[in-house]
Structure 1
């Protein structure tokens, strides 16, 4: 068999016209744009956790038909931003008991690994890139621009992942990156969160600048890990349930 020849038939079984793929009814980018718009609504907290989403209302607001909205929801479902309940509808995600721990476990596996890969690359600009973001975070914090600060927080961690140069690692992180961005925004302007967050981002940057992998890993683990006193606890259903039970006793 010639290497230039396709190893599969040119025509699909049962096809009258011999077409190998179906024709697109509209530009594929439309679905991506609709998904981007709805994702932004969820990440920025414009819709509440657990809120029901109406396909018709979203379509009217975005000026499109319900078809791209439905397909966009399928994409957002794969990112964990929405859940679809049969016979009920589509809802913005709510953290389930144990889910926060699972999200942090994946981050603990991916982010330190990304730092190591970046430091193994002599031409990596990760330290400079993080320093630039951290400086903008300081400015946003000082000016009380909470939403901007939290957006930069997400950019900081996305930059670490991208610096790995490993597309598979990036794909794995993409499964949770939008949900983590949404969770950051739901922390709001909690002063404990903001102060702890800013200090640790600076410390991470300095450790990477010094090419101290061990220190960078240690700070990252403390930054990400769920433990007593962690600001992530404010979003944890397990913790809230325990508190409620203790109050009932």
Structure 2
């Protein structure tokens, strides 16, 4: 008699996947600067692997937009242009308000709880002046809308840029946000509007929030370029 249920096992991750995951975290958390060269040989030594899985990992990260591989020159952390930043922020302005509205319809309480937990974590990060911790919590807040929206196509669309968005947040805005209250207060206001189901005001505030983020990114980028 055939079994009535499926037997599943978790396939072990390849070395390349493990290396890619760790490098992804390092780039997002600011362990590598934007535009910095990524040394294949020293990474291979550090991981205790050959250069092959390191190269495979870098190819995976290039597909995610985090790494640029330049033939005969090496691999580098991406460095966004002003046009790239503008395009990402326009993408967010279009997608996030609708994802939030769907999350309200699909899983209101779970989404609100996730938003509150992220805000609490951001508050702790501000008290500790920990920009990396703040950036991670900020990322969790915005990704909660997609996690609970119930639309796999919107989730897949956001996933194409999510890693780069998280990296830009840590590198270009979190260091300032952890010191100033404006961005933090906007997150609390977004939560209040979400709980109230007022998505006209929510969309207006989200657009203002993301536009402010874009301006912060561009200013940081110009400062880095001048330096």
The question of a shared fold, defined as TM-score above 0.5 by the shorter chain, is answered with yes
**Is 2:190 the counterpart of 1:211?**
no
Unaligned regions of 5+ residues in structure 2, if any?
Answer: 1-10
1:177 and 2:140 aligned: no
TM-fit CA distance, 1:108: 1.2
Q: Of 167, 172, 190, which residue of structure 1 is paired with 2:176?
A: 190
CA distance in 1, matches of 2:15, 2:187: 36
Work out whether residues 177 and 184 of structure 2, in 8 Å CA contact, stay in contact via their aligned partners in 1: no
Name the residue aligned to 2:153.
168
Cα separation, partners in 2 of 1:227 and 1:135, compared to 1, 3 Å: closer
TM-score normalised per structure 2? 0.85
Aligned positions of 1:78-117 closer than 5 A:
78-117=63-102
Equivalent position to 2:44, from 42, 59, 70: 59
Counterpart of 2:28 in structure 1 is 43
| Counterpart position of 2:3 | none
Give the Cα separation in 2 of the matches to 1:70 and 1:102.
Answer: 29
Runs of 4+ in 1 over 4 A off after TM superposition: none
Q: What are the superposed Cα offsets for residues 165-203 of structure 1, whole Å, 9 maximum, x if unpaired?
A: 222212221222121221122135325874222011101
Report the RMSD for the aligned CA atoms in angstroms.
2.4
CA shift digits 1:1-45 (9 cap, x unpaired): xxxxxxxxxxxxxxxxxxxxxxxxx95432221111111111111
User: TM-score scaled to structure 1, two decimals?
Assistant: 0.78
SS of the residue 2:79 aligns to: coil
Q: Does the CA contact (< 8 Å) of 1:58 and 1:69 recur in 2?
A: yes
Distance 1:126 1:192 in 2: 23
Alignment partner, residue 8 of structure 1: none
Q: Give structure 1 stretches of 5+ with no counterpart.
A: 1-25, 245-249
Counterpart CA distance in 2 for 1:53 and 1:179 is 17
Question: Offset at 1:236?
Answer: 4.0
1:128 to 97, 103, 113: 113
Q: 1:143 to 1:49 in 2, by over 3 A?
A: closer
Summarize deviations over 1:39-90 as a string: whole Å, max 9, x none: 1111111112111112221111111121211111111111111101122111
State the aligned residue count.
Answer: 215
Q: 1:231 to 1:195 in 2, by over 3 A?
A: farther
